[in-house]
């Protein structure tokens, strides 16, 4: 058994996840879930390398939370916090997503074709070989990459509209890096963040990520690769080091 079809119509998330877990336990590699309508926690805590779950519809919040290994492809928009505290695996969203996308994500990749809400990539972190990646095709709202402690965040503005037009970009960032296609108005930078133009070597570094993104959504990578990028990095790895004196 490698392919499993699940009809989620009228199904609560717990029995839905039980069906998914059972399918994975039985060796399914392809799981297609139809008629998804707001069910939260799809793939929550799910393990399974080499498993692909296709979600047809609009999943509820915390899609793929604590997930370790599987790939989830959403044919639709996603609610808030897809990839929340995700450990590894991939989430591909053919649409937009809500607030706190990739919250505290520690590994794997989240690709959002269109736009995301507030606090995208907040407190993403990395450790050794685990480096989470969030790529947003459209634009991101305020506080993108807030408290970011590691990982890579790329915002592309594919449609040509500016990807960042709100404040708090990278506020409190103390690790990791954010690449924004084009330029970023200094007024949008959060406290503790600074911007530099991405060098050719740095662009080279993110090239495979952009190609992966473009391939998944069937768009042309070349114009994206030809553009200039702004790199948002921490002004200090110790943003709070000088705030305190001892009693």
Partner 1 sequence: MSIGSVPFKFKVSVDPERCMVCGRCIENCSYGVFSKENERIKVNSRNCVACHRCLAFCPRDAIDITEKPTDYRSHPVWTRDVREAIFNQARTGKIILAGMGNAHPYPIIFDQLVLDACQVTNPSIDPLREPMEMRTYIGKKPASLALREHPNGDVELLTKLTPNLQIETPIMIGHMSYGAISLNAQTAIAKAASHIGTFMGTGEGGLHESLYPYQKHMIVQVASGRFGVDINYLERGAAIEIKIGQGAKPGIGGHLPGEKVCADVSCTRMIPEGSDAISPAPHHDIYSIEDLKQLVHSLKEATEWKKPVFVKIAAVHNVAAIAAGIARSSADAVVVDGFRGGTGAAPRVFRDHVGIPIEAAIASVDAKLRQQRIRNEVSLIASGGIRESADIAKAIALGADAVYIGTSALVAMGCRVCGTCYRGQCAWGIATQKPELTQRLDPETASVQVANLIHAWTDELAELMGAAGINSIESLRGNRDRLRGYMLDESLMQVLDVKSVGA
Distance of alpha carbon 214 from alpha carbon 211, whole angstroms: 5
By three-state DSSP, how is residue 81 classified? coil
Confirm or reject binding of residue 198 to partner 1 (CB under 8 A): no
By CB under 8 A, the residues from 110 to 129 that bind partner 1 are 119, 122-123, 125-127
Q: How far is the CB of 80 from partner 1 (least distance, A)?
A: 7
- As a whole number of angstroms, the distance between CA 147 and CA 145 comes to 6
3-state secondary structure of 11: coil
Question: Of 66 and 217, which has the nearer Cβ to partner 1?
Answer: 66
80: contact with partner 1 by CB under 8 A = yes
Sheet with 175-181: list strands edge to edge: 3-7, 30-37, 52-58, 68-75, 88-93, 109-112, 133-136, 149-155, 175-181, 229-234, 193-197
Within residues 126-165, the interface with partner 1 by CB under 8 A covers: 126-127, 130, 146-147, 149-150
Cα–Cα distance list, 127 to 19, 47, 90, 149, 174 (Å)? 32, 20, 18, 10, 14
Closer CB to partner 1, residue 147 or residue 179?
147
Question: Least CB distance from residue 137 to partner 1, whole Å?
Answer: 23
- For 103, residues 6+ apart whose C-beta sits below 8 A from its C-beta are 81, 83, 84, 85, 119, 121, 122, 123
Q: Of 60 and 157, which has the nearer Cβ to partner 1?
A: 60
Query: Per CB under 8 A, does 171 bind partner 1?
Result: no
Please state the closest distance from residue 140 (CB atom) to partner 1, in A.
15
Tell me how far CA of residue 46 lies from CA of 53, 61, 137, 167, in angstroms.
Answer: 11, 15, 26, 35
Task: Print the binding letters for residues 35-74 with partner 1: x by CB under 8 A, - otherwise.
Answer: -----xx--xx-x-------------xx--xxxx------
Question: How many residues at the interface with partner 1, by CB under 8 A?
Answer: 49
Instruction: Establish if 172 lies at the interface with partner 1 (CB under 8 A).
Output: yes
Site for partner 1 in 227-246 (CB under 8 A): 237-246
Phi and psi (nearest 5°) for 86? -75, 145
The residues of the shown chain that bind partner 1, judged by CB under 8 A, are: 13-14, 17, 21, 40-41, 44-45, 47, 61-62, 65-68, 80-81, 84-85, 87, 100, 103-104, 106, 119, 122-123, 125-127, 130, 146-147, 149-150, 172, 174-175, 237-247
């Amino acid at each position: 058994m490698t392919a499993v079809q699940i009809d989620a119509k009228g199904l609560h998330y717990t029995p839905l996840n039980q069906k998914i877990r059972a399918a994975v336990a039985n060796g399914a590699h392809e799981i297609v879930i139809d008629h998804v309508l707001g069910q939260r926690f799809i793939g929550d805590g799910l393990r399974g390398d080499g498993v692909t779950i296709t979600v047809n519809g609009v999943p509820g919040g915390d899609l793929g939370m604590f997930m370790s290994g599987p790939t989830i492809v959403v044919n639709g928009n996603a609610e808030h916090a897809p990839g929340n505290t995700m450990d590894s695996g991939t989430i591909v969203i053919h649409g937009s997503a809500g607030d706190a996308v990739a919250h505290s994500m520690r590994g794997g990749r989240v690709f959002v074709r269109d736009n995301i809400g507030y606090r995208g990539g907040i407190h993403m972190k990395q450790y050794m070989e685990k480096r989470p990646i969030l790529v947003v095709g459209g634009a991101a709202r305020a506080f993108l990459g807030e408290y970011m402690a590691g990982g890579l965040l790329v915002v592309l503005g594919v449609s040509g509209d500016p990807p960042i037009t709100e404040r708090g970009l990278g506020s409190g960032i103390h690790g990791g890096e954010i690449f924004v296609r084009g330029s970023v108005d200094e007024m949008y930078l959060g406290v503790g963040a600074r911007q530099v133009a991405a060098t050719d070597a740095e662009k080279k570094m993110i090239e495979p990520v952009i190609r992966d993104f473009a391939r998944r959504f069937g768009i042309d990578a070349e114009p994206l690769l030809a553009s200039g990028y702004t790199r948002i990095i921490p002004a200090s790895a110790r943003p709070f080091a000088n705030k305190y004196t001892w009693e």
